[in-house]
A = this chain, B = another copy of it.
């Protein structure tokens, strides 16, 4: 990640702000506010603003449940209870805003989460930065054979070099031709004064999907957790997981109690189907149960055994 001098100055200016407020504040999050945490080769994640903290969740839950919540002695107990029983609205009372720089193909995956507010850099108005994602060698994986959407073993040696070469050359050439069509370089200089420049909204179609874009992305804590549950998961594409992991860390700083409950119940937890419950019950009681008469498909059986770390029962 390489910030322009202008950007570095802007971050410094923002970080030097010291305002007084009556709102709840979170010192641990304030500490990293505006900071650009690097992601992939040219991307970053910045927390730009936030509203509320763990106590805001408790506060609104207590409005909902009134005097009824007095019995749950601690805030932490209440937050765990809310998480466990999918009482989702109190988590919507916290809000966070990120500034994110990411490759377009990841942005396309990301935007499928529709509940956030987004302002993206517009390539209709402006020229995109000359930056594209190139995977590092350790992340150059072959198509998985067992899993249609995942990655298998690493690609290395000559083939790895060839792949990286192709990615680099194609991104550079398409970007150069983008400039040629625009008749303008990314630094704003005109190429040929006797020529017109193609409309930006058209020229952008020549760029490859690893070109970087950026956006402001604002969401409430509930939807953020829904996003992170899917995108910080081991099945998520590596490139989006890098971002999710950084954001997960900001959640930990922001709302530590909620973070803990989230990791316990959502990220580290598992869902067991009605049929799966019967299997588990029998296993606990020491009764015999075979995949065949469990009512589970082979795939389901294995997913269940993996969830409970029963490797010896995988078929």
Interface residues of A (CB under 8 A from B): 14-15, 17-25, 30, 33-34, 49-52, 56, 59-61, 63-69, 71, 77, 80-81, 84, 86, 89-90, 92-93, 95, 97, 99, 103-105, 107-108, 111-112, 114-115, 117-127, 133, 135, 139-144, 148-153, 155, 159, 162-163, 166-167, 170-171, 173-174, 177, 180-182, 188, 195-202, 204-210, 214-216, 218, 220, 230, 237, 263-265, 267-277, 280-281, 283-284, 286, 297, 299-300, 303, 307-310
In the complex, chain B residues whose CB is within 8 Å of the CB of A69: 125, 148
Nearest-CB distance from A301 to chain B (Å)? Answer: 12
Copies of the chain in the assembly: 4
Q: Are B24 and A49 in contact (CB under 8 A)?
A: yes
Considering the chains assembled together, what is the distance between the CA atoms of A84 and B159 in angstroms? 37
Enumerate 5 A-B pairs (CB-CB under 8 Å) in ascending A order.
Answer: A63-B215, A66-B127, A152-B196, A270-B277, A280-B280
Which 9 A-B residue pairs are closest in the complex by CB-CB distance?
A66-B126, A268-B274, A68-B125, A92-B117, A205-B210, A142-B196, A68-B148, A60-B119, A51-B51
Quick check: A25 and B15 within 8 Å, CB to CB?
Answer: no
Q: How far is the CA of A50 from the CA of B310 in the complex (A)?
A: 44
- Chain B nearest CB, measured from A222 CB (Å): 8
A272 to chain B, nearest CB (A): 5
Are B303 and A237 touching (Cβ within 8 A)?
no
Min CB distance, A115 to chain B, in Å?
A: 8
Are A268 and B277 in contact, CB atoms less than 8 angstroms apart? yes
Contact A181 B163, beta carbon cutoff 8 Å: yes
Query: Is the Cβ of B166 less than 8 Å from the Cβ of A177?
Result: yes
Give complex CA distance A243, B276 in Å.
Answer: 28
Q: Are B216 and A63 in contact (CB under 8 A)?
A: yes
Q: How far is the CA of A120 from the CA of B207 in the complex (A)?
A: 21
Contact A207 B208 (CB under 8 A): yes
Q: How far is the CA of A66 from the CA of B159 in the complex (A)?
A: 27
Complexed CA–CA distance, A173 and B176 (Å) = 14
In the complex, the answer to whether B280 meets A51 with C-beta atoms within 8 Å is no
Query: B64, A166: Cβ atoms under 8 Å?
Result: no
**Are A308 and B280 closer than 8 Å at their CB atoms?**
yes
Known A-B contacts A63-B121, A66-B121, A284-B284; A93 and B23 likewise in contact (beta carbons under 8 Å): no
Return chain B residues, CB-CB under 8 Å to A163.
Answer: 181, 198
Chain B residues lying within 8 Å of A230, measured Cβ to Cβ, are 86
Query: How long is the Cα–Cα vector from A65 to B214 in the complex, in angstroms?
Result: 12
**Residues of B with C-beta under 8 A to A64:** 119-122, 125
The reply to whether A142 and B198 contact each other, CB–CB distance below 8 Å, is: yes
Q: A22-B33, A205-B208, A269-B277 are in contact. List 14 more A-B contacts (CB 8 A).
A: A17-B24, A19-B22, A21-B30, A80-B300, A111-B111, A139-B202, A141-B198, A166-B206, A170-B206, A174-B208, A201-B237, A207-B209, A267-B274, A277-B307
The answer, among B126, B180, B214, for a CB contact under 8 Å with A68, is B126
